[in-house]
Structure 1
């Protein structure tokens, strides 16, 4: 089966499934946009994971949840783990919390981070494990890691999209319980990558209180309709910050939050241009920008005001105004669009004077970087079900 035939079969599959998508809050226009994206965009491993549905994709082989099932929580495939600084072990949140649950290992004086991965992710899977480790190494944060990997596994991207609403409902119930046990919402930030960014926002639809802060890392674009409520926007929290590194391809292209940062134009990162898939590399490397921001390196993370949307090229349209720190320490209440120019890979120890960083964020011939590992993971996953040619 050729890649071209895979694409054509996938398009046919989606149009034959319009009735199903309509029941799950999807529109014909969203499917049309997805068809166009398959036609005009160069393919990469993540795109291959989506397209693999054309040949071997079977709705019955994916895990689906009904978005209107209010009794589906807790979900056996949605897990939350607590990590605290200095504690090597993780603690899985149980279905029923005891009143003193947060007193065990949880450090009440620290800030709280809720980390949510995207498509084909998991609790201990790159790239989000880099961000988890960075927060813990900093020592100032309790980290709650959400694992919904069974509901977002490759090659079931359509199922992952469909599962966003029920997962958000269950996470909202968990956050409500933690709040009742003493978790301070004003000191809690939800940080999500790709589809995980939309989950941070969608939780707000099921909460009776307002979330304080959300940081969306290159929120996913494919099949996410801009006019649906099932996506991240500035109304989902007191403060919503968004960092764009692959806008218009795997990531959202327009303004999403109260403040939006476009890194190197927001579309393709310069150090990814020689990568086997510069688009996917750019999409996942946002995690390393965020990781570096945790350590307060204002010199490398200060952006200048620019145009409303991420620019089409590397040149930015600067605007007058004060520069703004990007990432974890962006002041709440900031507003507008900002552009940051960087040439070297972020959070790579070789490019930081103090040596702070993670080797997985470097471009090294001797070591596999985390995008390369992600590429190999997706390729092996796809080929395990669809490849019939020997390795070259």
Structure 2
């Protein structure tokens, strides 16, 4: 019964995120007439949320409140902010709400994990069965938008129907907010030791950067986030603009791929090693963007589908294997600090820069008609990822890593 409740929590948590974030660029461009720089600003709220979230969780949630209660409160606040986003009719009024929303939402990613771990005897065996429902929630949201409501069809976008994604997610956020107060009691995890800013930022793990291999990996992780930002920001607007039907639904193939390659990752790591795995992950970004650059909605549609399906390799083989590598390099005393540092550097700083670059490049290749020279847009992250790949392959030495570390 507890597993069912935790699974529903995860389903709603990621249904909410997948229900508006995927189509955000398309909505802002077509409904609010935002330019590339403004769209980049909107997406970068994820990074600001990731930077601020550890302070909310580390300084407040972990010390003073039950995780399920602050989770409920944040989602109720999020429901109100999401409704305000639904009502906004220009970018100037929309942006403050999306910024406030992401500051409220990003801490909940850690809180749902805390609630789950608090009820599990062996999280290493039990958590995956619960977490997979989050991916299912993201997939269901995309399928509903495309195949149930058709909000991402050309006519619906022209009619402004994509704004309904915010209303849908507002309702889901309210449901999860109320439901959270019924979740099992999860008291603060603090042992009584005061949490410092140094702890939150993971600064105790900075010593790991003295290791040349880890430094190369760390720098590559930050740089590869620039190409990553292009996918989050531009994939849905690109597919929609060139006439791919049910683009949001087709993009859920990326999440299906993510689940499948997650299962293959430990075997691949132990057989071929961390360097080969990371290289393949980065190479997949190059191939994906090349496919996007030369594919189209007609005879080249298969190239776009393959590019979407590569998401599992792109994400799992680099970012998830990177988390495993970081865990193996850090000693017991700094494992949490090391993960915090790499998360702050990638989803915080790296993605923040990435969204700004993606916005600038998109604006550069926006024509007077409002359409885009998408081939040029996609060739930039393809080339950038290729440079990072080559530098990493040259500078990173082979190293044995236990996938179960």
TM-score range, shorter chain: under 0.3
What is the TM-score of this pair, normalised by structure 1? 0.27
**Greater helix content:** 2
More strand as a share of residues: 1
Q: Comparing both chains, which one has the higher relative contact order based on Cα–Cα distances under 8 Å and sequence gaps of 6 or more?
A: 2
